Amino acid sequence: MHPATAKWYDRRDSVFIEFYVADSKDVKVTFDKAKFGFSCLGGTDSVKHENEIDLFEAVDENECKHKRTDRSVLCYLRKAQPGKAWPRLTKEKAKLSWLSVDFNNWKDWEDDSEEEMGNFDQLSDMMNNIGGDEDLPDLDGADDDDSADSDDEKMPDLE
């Protein structure tokens, strides 16, 4: 048995864990208030993968779900206390070699507020309304390949 490689990320009301097991079969996912279990057979040689996690905080096991694809199994864990950030997935601070943070999906949502997001949208609209290339000044022959700087000298040939 091997633990499956996984990445996780935090959201305001939930936590996502994705187990990267190609061609998984016999997927079993167990949700408990403080524990989470995953097992499956994966790959062409049907290697048995098994992971068990003591979770950082409690989850609502009745609202948790999982979805299998050909390349992975994505698990959705609904937090029992929405709005509370999880600095890590596990109760213990131990580093698990098979688990890492999914930085592509991670958001520092604690700093977000609806007002700040509205301000960002206004800034984005303002940036989009600024003129395009036609508003750029002419840079006096910057595109001319035959223009030479006064300090340009011919380099000697390499021997």
Are the beta carbons of 25 and 46 closer than 8 angstroms?
Answer: yes
pLDDT of residue 155: 77
pLDDT bucket at 116, cuts 50 / 70 / 90:
very low
Q: Is the pLDDT of residue 118 over 70?
A: no
- Per-residue tokens: 57: 């905080």
The neighbour count for residue 1, using CB atoms within 10 Å, is 8
The CATH code that applies to domain 6-129 is 2.60.40.790
Q: What is the spatial distance between Cα 107 and Cα 76, in angstroms, rounded to a whole number?
A: 16
Exposure b/e, 33-52, CB count within 10 A at least 16 = b: eeebebbbebeeeeeebebe
pLDDT score of 32 more than 90:
yes
pTM tops 0.75, yes or no: no
Which has the higher per-residue pLDDT, 106 or 19? 19
What is the amino acid identity at position 71? R
